[in-house]
Amino acid sequence: DTAVSQTPKYLVTQMGNDKSIKCEQNLGHDTMYWYKQDSKKFLKIMFSYNNKELIINETVPNRFSPKSPDKAHLNLHINSLELGDSAVYFCASNQAGRLPSRANVLTFGAGSRLTVL
Amino acid sequence: DQQVKQNSPSLSVQEGRISILNCDYTNSMFDYFLWYKKYPAEGPTFLISISSIKDKNEDGRFTVFLNKSAKHLSLHIVPSQPGDSAVYFCAASSGQFYFGTGTSLTVIP
């Protein structure tokens, strides 16, 4: 019973296309995130949503648009894909609040590897 | 600007010996530090953590040490086992989480 699940796991597409990655968590967490791991293996936060509201939006091109229909789901839509968008995208969730509660620790999905040709 | 750095991209250790993974950070506002373990084609999974009010936390074979004056933390795994072979990410939090680039550990049987 996967806690944070993302689909698809692999996505290969052409430059200029629009694609979406979906994420769902069944942990009852109130905050969800998208992280990008690029070719340098750097895990960098892109977006954070708390109870369906955007709370963090790092410097990300506006071609990336997160959508949170409810607090258990956070989808990532990418328009006009570029070669540099090729990366592994990780969804994560936690319960907002100060550490050190175990619920505040991030739980990650398995990642979605996006390859733009 | 990377606030959390892992300067060793890889480490090889013989089975049964100690593995020491290092991490440095720059932001003195970080108050919680974590280690995550990642296998290929999987997401990072939480391993162990430490609060800034402590200098050591132990969980079985895993111990994390924190040196606040040096802004340095390390993860010790002893004895190392082949199943420990994975990429280890260091993370720090002041509310938001910041990750290092990971160290790939190979434990040789």
Local confidence pLDDT in tens for the 109 residues of chain B: 689 999 999 999 999 999 999 999 999 999 899 999 999 989 999 999 999 999 999 999 999 999 999 999 999 999 999 999 999 999 998 888 899 999 999 999 9
Domain count for chain A: 1
Q: What is the CATH number of domain B4-108?
A: 2.60.40.10
Strand partners, A88: A37, A113
Give the CA angle between residues A81, A82, A84 to the nearest 5°.
130
Are B5 and B25 in contact, with CB atoms under 8 Å apart?
yes
Q: Give DSSP secondary structure letters for A45-108.
A: EEEEEETTEEEEE-S--TTEEEEEEETTEEEEEE-S--GGG-EEEEEEEE--S-SS-GGGS-EE
Q: Is A28 helix (H, G, I), strand (E, B) or coil?
A: coil
Strand partners, A13: A116
Residue A102 belongs to a domain: no
Encoded tokens for B78: 């002893």
A103 pLDDT tier (thresholds 50, 70, 90): low
CB atoms within 10 A of CB B60: 7
Shortest CA distance from B102: residue in chain A: A41
Residue A80 has pLDDT above 80, yes or no: yes
CATH number of the CATH domain containing A47: 2.60.40.10
Domain region containing A53: 4-97+107-116
Contacts of residue A65, defined as CB under 8 A and 6 or more positions apart, other chains included, come to A76, A77, A78, A79
CB contact under 8 A, A98 and B95: yes
A109 interfaces chain B, CB cutoff of 8 Å: yes
CB atoms within 10 A of CB A76: 22
Shortest CA distance from B97: residue in chain A: A45
> Which residue bears the tokens 């600007």?
B1
In angstroms, what separates the C-alpha of A110 from chain B's closest C-alpha? 4
